[in-house]
Amino acid sequence: MAIPTFLEVMLPFLELTGDGVEHQLQQTISDLADHFHLTQDERAQLLPSGFQATFTNRVAWASTHLRKAGLLERTGRGRFRITQRGRDVLAERPPSITIAKLATYPEYRQFQGRGREQPRIIEPPGGDDRTPEEAIEALAETLRNTLAQELLDRVKAAPPSFFERLVVELLVSMGYGGSRADAGQAVGRSGDEGIDGIIKEDKLGLDAVYIQAKRWDKNVGRPELQMFAGSLDGARATKGVFITTSGFTADAVTYVKGIGKRIVLVDGHELAKLLIEHGVGVSTVATYTLRRIDEGFFELG
């Protein structure tokens, strides 16, 4: 099944604590994963940032909402138990726990920044039941994708000489080619809206990597990859990277997977992603820091 949203987690979470004893968050996460019959892959699935498991994040936020509404109480670091209010809610046998239900409690309205006025609740549409981290990361991903497409459009519109400098700058930023001067001499024009060359895999030049980059609109097919594989032998290179501003045909991808040589394919989407990741052709306009409570700090007292 799909990983449940934090809203879907809340009722099973509260029911799990209905025995009235103290519970520990990590064990609760595991118990809830079992309740929802999540696979190992679903349990291990990470948020786009890669810093936390998606299900762990959703359970943690379900816990926060339940506590802010007074249905759970914290008893220690990562420990909690149900309150009388929480028992009362379970006694109502609700089909689910909604934001509208939580907002009937003044503590929760305070948490939501509504003060103590009677809230006008409209249940969020599907997609708005994300945790704050998920909402932030989804927006960041949208911004990255928009930037990547604009960056790729600029690269395609630029003259061939600019494309050559761009590839050199990217390779050096990724740690290949030694210095810019070294990489610039090793990577040269080959015509056909493309460049090729041999660069050092590291600054000491312990291994060589054959590079070919094509600023194309059409997809790169198997014939181009076959010629590229043959070029590795002629250049005495053991590894190759084929970069294109377009894409690769399915036949080309299958061909590369079936040969003994190590060839990495970088299509337009991946190229734009690498440029952004390594700060080539882009600049940082704003940085936001996400902070959370340092539980260890509060244990010192």
Q: Letter for the amino acid at 234?
A: G
Q: Letter for the amino acid at 178?
A: G
Residue range(s) of every CATH 3.40.1340.10 domain in the chain: 147-277
The DSSP element (H or E) to which 280 belongs, if any, is none
pTM: 0.66
Q: At which residue do the structure tokens 């395609």 appear?
A: 156
Length of the chain: 301
Distance CA 84, CA 301 (A): 29
Q: What is the pLDDT along the chain (301 residues), one digit of tens a residue?
A: 689 999 999 999 999 999 999 999 999 999 999 999 999 999 999 887 777 899 999 999 999 999 999 999 989 888 999 999 999 999 999 999 999 999 999 999 888 775 444 444 334 444 457 888 888 888 888 888 888 988 998 888 888 878 878 888 888 888 877 667 776 666 766 666 666 777 877 666 667 788 888 888 899 999 999 988 888 877 777 788 999 999 999 999 999 998 878 899 999 999 999 999 999 988 887 777 777 777 666 655 4
**CATH placement of domain 147-277:** 3.40.1340.10
Cβ–Cβ under 8 Å, residues 124 and 99: yes
User: What pLDDT, on the 0 to 100 scale, is given for residue 184?
Assistant: 63
Cβ–Cβ under 8 Å, residues 255 and 228: no
Beta strands in the chain (DSSP E): 23-24, 72-76, 79-82, 187-191, 194-200, 208-214, 239-244, 262-266
User: What pLDDT, on the 0 to 100 scale, is given for residue 238?
Assistant: 77
**Domain 6-129: top CATH class:** mainly alpha
User: What pLDDT, on the 0 to 100 scale, is given for residue 137?
Assistant: 84
User: What pLDDT, on the 0 to 100 scale, is given for residue 157?
Assistant: 87
Distance CA 23, CA 62 (A): 14
Residue range(s) of every CATH 1.10.10 domain in the chain: 6-129
Q: Letter for the amino acid at 136?
A: I
Distance CA 229, CA 238 (A): 10
